[in-house]
A and B are shown apart, each in its own frame.
Chain A
Amino acid sequence: MSAGRKCARLYAACQIRTARNHSQPKATPLTSSSDPRLAALESEAIEIIREGVAAAARPVMLYSIGKDSSVLLHLARKAFWPASPPMPLLHIDTTWKFREMIAFRDRMAAEAGVELVVHTNREGVAEGVTPFTHGSERYTEVMKTAALRQALDAGRHDIVFVGARRDEEKSRAKERFFSLRDARHQWDPRAQRPELWNLYNTRLRPGESLRVSPLSSWTEADIWRYIAQERIPVVPLYFAAERPVVECDGQWIMVDDERMPLLPGEVPRLRRVRFRTLGCYPLTAAVESDADTLDAVIAETVATGRSEREGRLIDHDGESSMERKKREGYF
């Protein structure tokens, strides 16, 4: 922990508040389904989901329990109404998810009437791989990327829906709606298929698969506006509340259970925080915020000067860390 970074973190948090105080909320409160832009994004996403399922022998939807997954699941339900989505949900459980997320996951899968497959890399657990003992990079490789490969191989899934958006990160801005993975689930950014109009080439050789991102064109603000418009349930961690946190490298980390190692004399403090993105709790930083309603979250999202993935510690594992993880099969 460096004092300099700590200060920067506090300064940043102040800035968010300042920005919010100075600007009027730009978001339009949405009460009806009248936003033509959201309607266009919705129609595009549904078209892509149907196209993927039409081409698939064994489709699956990755379900991370976050806001993007919630929107993706909602769109899949719309795409196949009155039927249930004709594919299972796959959750990679690292065993380090926020407790609130797990309860929410089971409820949503049941409500959507879809099968939920939960996979954990048991070898990783047996080896005792945790974010605290092995570092975020090694932990992500074993408990997320390798776990995902295991689960996709076991299910022999050819079409894999994911909730990735191009505005999240600049290497994701380079990815196609239908992104080819080789038999080892690796992405070759130099050999992407051209993707013309809405004509998706879904032909695969044995072992190959496609990661399909129906939310590619959506922004973080679009996601929140759509959640508000459609009244889609999301995990309460997205809304501001008093939560026990400690400071790590200038970021607020929530102490979600007793496994969080504390420094000598360190005591979790109660702070009014929320999460812009949800992952494993030791690797997902909270932001200080008073946004405890959807409208307030939308207003904060529009006004913020910082990117959503700043709170994802694994994105900062060195130069091009996201691209490298994606090449290895991370989504």
Chain B
Amino acid sequence: MKTPAPTPTPPTLPLVLCGSVDDGKSTLLGRILHDCRLVFADEMRKAEEDSRRYGTQGEAADLALLVDGLQDEREQGITIDVAYRSFETPRRRFIVADAPGHEQYTRNMATGASTSDVAVILVDARKGVLPQTARHSRIAAMFGVRHVVLAVNKMDLVGWDEDAFEAIASDYRRLAADLGLTDVPAIPVCALTGDNLTRRSDAPPWYDGPTLLAHLETVDVEPPAAGQAFRMPVQYVNRPDPDFRGYCGRVAVGTVSPGDRVRVMPSGVEAGVESIVVWRGTLERAARGDSVALTLAPDVDVSRGDVIAAAEDPLEVADQFQTRIVWLGDEPLTVGRPYLVKLHACEVGATVTRIRHRVDVSDGRELAASQLELNDLGVVNLSTSRPVPFAPFDQCRELGGFILIDRVTNATVGAGTITFALMRAANLKWQDFDITGVVRADLKGQRARCLWLTGLSASGKSTIANLLERRLVAEGRHTYLLDGDNVRHGLNRDLGFTEPDRVENIRRVAEVARLMVDAGLIVIVSFISPFRAERDFARGLFEPGDFHEIFVDASIEACAERDPKGLYARALRGEIRNFTGVDSPYERPERPDLHLDTEKLSPEECVELVMRELT
């Protein structure tokens, strides 16, 4: 070597502090920072000022206030959201995620755990292992955290009693074993005084293990196994001019060099790596974690959401998965409801087709469930709207972890990990036949479409649908009318009026309408269809322009007054539950293709407007 080797920089260890509320996580982090002299003088002064106002430690500074960065947190003395704190000792650099303990803020704890390699689980020596301790441990394990250390805190309050410590440690090890974690060291600590955090405590003569910090400085986080096949999700296609097309992404696993053969998934098209482009140059090799741009020869078609993978070991592609999930939404997870899934750079529609079970967080029992509520853990089957390239989560975090997004609120409502594909998409190929929907419609001399009438009960849907179909038939068109009440007598006879059943009701009708449009018919759907997400789902089944959302609009007062079937009167008396507009919501269309105000227009005028829409 010509130049002296630089001092090796310690690799960064991402870790998460978990445990129930008031177990002392923020205090522990504040104390470690303080005792390692990593707190700036002005930060400390601020924390001391805050302590006089909000502190829980009498005259002494409340070190949790060093990390509880939100005003609400300082005022309430709790952690609400995860705080990230980088610090460095001579042996290692850490990024610590200080997670909130409250069950209410589990989604924020999940955020911190998802990127961590090590979890420190805090337990209050007086309280032992609580349900929230178990919930955090299960989430950490589900997210692939393989190294867990148990810190039994507040040992001073139990007189540093060895039996109390051992009881908690063995209790926790039973839970850990259930999660597949075999080697869990336990350390008795006192975060308030710093005993056994950064310096050995004299208090428990019976403990001769390392301090918490010494353990974290030396815990061996094995690098990912070498020799795995190359995979890189494509984030962005860089096309500054017609001659250059760079597929940008971060290598998820394996290595790549110019000349390597790769396959683009899901299309399966093969090409060679021409170059690995970086700032003002190229590389001979890129490895896991590197952000690069690849150029391919020949220049095949690649889009964001595709994965470039080693040709000799291409990635699986599927659209049905068994997954583990933690539910983070305020509204429960509903089977059949359309969500969006984001898996690597791929964003597609998805539904949960079945909840296999919910997990009892305390003891891991599998419980039957029809919904998953906020903070529930469960195992569910997930179906995506098109086949996507993936890897099981335990093989590759980057290609097997996903989030679920609510289509209406845009909230992130779930986080999950793919266990395996239920059915390889290749086994269930869409059959291409020679006679297409367009051919069938041409034969009838018309353009096939779906006219979707949505609106409150008694808004006038059935009346308009009936007149409209008569008019179309009179003009020689081939039609079919799907009416809510009629379909419920047959196809959907098994469904009730709960939210999950309403979702399934619409899903089936939308699928039937699609088949009929493919058969060349003009299909009129007359359904209340109260939820925006389901109508959007229906629209997504059709080619653009083939689906017309027609909002049959009348106020709830007008509908209740018309009340041809006497339903409003019964609903208002409480005799019918889940009645749209009374005790179940109707989400008005934001941008319908056609808006018919039946309080101002006659049914004939409405039909006229629909006919105009069709030309």
Contact = CB atoms under 8 A, between A and B. Distances in A.
Given A37-B11, A54-B345, A171-B69, 20 more contacts: A12-B41, A36-B11, A37-B93, A42-B291, A43-B289, A79-B248, A80-B240, A81-B278, A82-B246, A83-B239, A174-B70, A174-B82, A189-B70, A192-B81, A193-B412, A194-B412, A197-B398, A198-B250, A217-B86, A320-B74
16 contacts: A30-B6, A39-B290, A46-B250, A51-B236, A51-B345, A77-B279, A82-B277, A174-B69, A174-B82, A189-B70, A194-B415, A195-B114, A196-B114, A197-B114, A201-B342, A310-B42
A166 interface: yes
A322 to B, nearest CB: 9
Interface stretch (B103-111, B365-373, B516-524): B103-111
Interface in A301-331: 304-307, 310, 319-320, 323-324
A11 B12 CA distance: 35
Contacts of A22: none
Contact of B277 (A34, A54, A81): A81
B85 interface: yes
A78 B279 contact: yes
Interface string B38-72: 00111100000010000000000000001111111
Given A50-B236, A174-B83, A81 B69 contact: no
B67 A205 contact: no
Contacts of B344: 199
Given A37-B11, A199-B402, A173 B289 contact: no
> Which has the most chain B C-beta neighbours within 10 Å: A39, A50, A171?
A50
Contacts of B398: 197-198
A182 interface: no
Nearest to B107: A194
A217 B95 contact: yes
Contacts of A304: 40
Contacts of B41: 12, 15, 305-306
Contacts of A78: 278-279
A193 B342 CA distance: 14
B107 A35 contact: no
Interface stretch (B377-385, B403-411, B563-571): B403-411
Contacts of A197: 114-115, 397-398, 401
B77 to A, nearest CB: 15
B84 A173 contact: yes
A81 B71 contact: no
Interface in A59-91: 77-84
Contacts of A167: 85-86
B6 A81 contact: no
Contacts of B250: 43, 46-47, 198
Grouping DSSP codes into helix (H, G, I), strand (E, B) and loop, the B interface class, with mixed when no group exceeds half, is mixed
B240 A83 contact: yes
Given A82-B277, A174-B83, A305-B40, A28 B7 contact: yes
A323 B71 CA distance: 8
A51 B235 contact: yes
B252 to A, nearest CB: 10
Contacts of A174: 69-70, 81-83
A307 B42 CA distance: 7
A51 B305 CA distance: 11
A214 to B, nearest CB: 11
A231 interface: no
A203 interface: yes
A293 interface: no
Contacts of B342: 199, 201
B40 A306 contact: yes
A216 B84 CA distance: 9
Interface residues of B, number: 69
A47 B235 contact: yes
B73 to A, nearest CB: 8
B291 A46 contact: yes
A122 interface: no
Interface string B1-35: 00100110101100000000000000000000000
Contacts of B83: 170, 173-174
Given A34-B6, A194-B415, A166 B410 contact: no
B307 interface: no
A201 B339 CA distance: 13
Contacts of A280: none
A39 B342 CA distance: 26
A171 B93 CA distance: 22
Contacts of B9: 28, 35-37
B61 to A, nearest CB: 15
A166 B84 contact: yes
Sorted nearest first, the 9 A-B pairs with minimum C-beta distance are A170-B69, A83-B240, A46-B291, A320-B71, A307-B40, A43-B291, A203-B410, A78-B279, A194-B107
Interface in A181-210: 189-190, 192-199, 201, 203-205
B110 A196 contact: yes
A252 to B, nearest CB: 15
Given A78-B279, A196-B415, A217 B84 contact: yes
A306 B244 CA distance: 48
B573 interface: no
Contacts of A12: 41
Contacts of A172: 69
B340 interface: yes
Given A307-B40, A323-B69, A199 B86 contact: no
A291 B405 CA distance: 50
Interface string A268-310: 0000000000000000000000000000000000001111001
B234 to A, nearest CB: 10
A290 B601 CA distance: 82
A190 B76 CA distance: 13
B80 A190 contact: yes
Nearest to A166: B84
Contacts of B239: 83
Nearest to A221: B88
B280 interface: yes
Contact of B412 (A77, A201, A216, A307): A201
Interface string B134-160: 000000000000000000000000000
B395 interface: no
B285 to A, nearest CB: 13
A65 to B, nearest CB: 22
